[in-house]
Amino acid sequence: MKFTNSEENYLKSIFHLQMQQGNVSTNTLAATLKAKPASITDMTKKLNAKKLLHYKPYYGFYLSTEGRKAALEIIRRHRLWEAFLAEKLEFQWDDVHEIAEELEHISSKKLIDKLDAYLGFPKFDPHGDPIPDNKGKIKEPRKISLLQMQTDVPCIVCQVGNDSAELLELLKHKKISIGSKLSVKKRFEYDHSLEIKINQSLITISNQLAKNVFVTYES
């Protein structure tokens, strides 16, 4: 699918914010894009209609699988161009970002794959950020502790914090294992415990346990 420059900038910013915090709010996105909140709502509705993100009025939004895929393509283009500017054209590393902001919107797949090959398939951009490959895969596996995971986003357990018998026993008892699909439903401020939905039922997880369960977004 082909997007406008503006749509692409939104997708990219939402992706980045999502990496840091969980759910993205209208105001934070407005701040990073240097736009007014009203403009964010407008575009958010448009991206929602295109099924690029999940949006519930007043409760923020997060990218859909589609949207995440698109964002990764844009990030790939951005970082490959940054690599080109720095390595081939001898730009300083603090000088490449602005130009890459424009180059990233040129969407020819052939162009980007050829550029990638020309640069020798670099894994990182000049700032050390990983460059997604042509399948959208990033070198570093993207894992988040359940504590960081935003609510209501389906995700998959991919790693546990350690191999202690006690931890594994508890996980086994709660029927959580690598590959389990779940989503965080609620957080309690009192003891920082979470309620998660797994296997069609709601269960409670302590803060200590959540800290040691790592998930990735559903692919």
Partner DNA sequence: TTTTATTTTTAGACAAAACTAAAAATTTTT
Partner DNA sequence: AAAAATTTTTAGTTTTGTCTAAAAATAAAA
**Which residues of this chain interact with DNA, rule CB under 7 A?**
4-7, 9, 25-28, 34-46, 55, 57-60
CB of 7 to DNA, least distance (A): 5
State the binding partner of 4 from DNA, Mn ion, a copy of itself, none, CB within 5 to 8 A by kind.
Answer: DNA
For a copy of itself, which is the closer residue by CB, 97 or 211?
A: 97
Neighbours of 157 (CB within 10 A): 20
For a copy of itself, which is the closer residue by CB, 117 or 202?
A: 117
For Mn ion, which is the closer residue by CB, 159 or 208?
A: 159
For DNA, which is the closer residue by CB, 34 or 110?
A: 34
Backbone phi, psi, residue 110, to 5°: -60, -45
State the binding partner of 88 from Mn ion, DNA, a copy of itself, none, CB within 5 to 8 A by kind.
Answer: a copy of itself
Which residues 6+ apart lie within 8 Å of 210 measured at CB?
Answer: 145, 146, 147, 193, 194
Q: Angle at Cα 17 formed by Cα 11 and Cα 23, nearest 5°?
A: 95
Residue 68 φ/ψ region, left for φ over 0, alpha for ψ in the -120 to 50 degree band, beta for the rest: alpha
Query: What is the rounded CA–CA span in Å between residue 42 and residue 127?
Result: 32
Query: In the window 83-112, what residues touch a copy of itself (CB under 8 A)?
Result: 85, 88-91, 95, 98-99, 102-103, 106, 108, 110-111
> Could you say whether residue 7 binds Mn ion (CB under 5 A)?
no
Asked if residues 216 and 156 have their Cβ atoms less than 8 Å apart, the reply is: yes
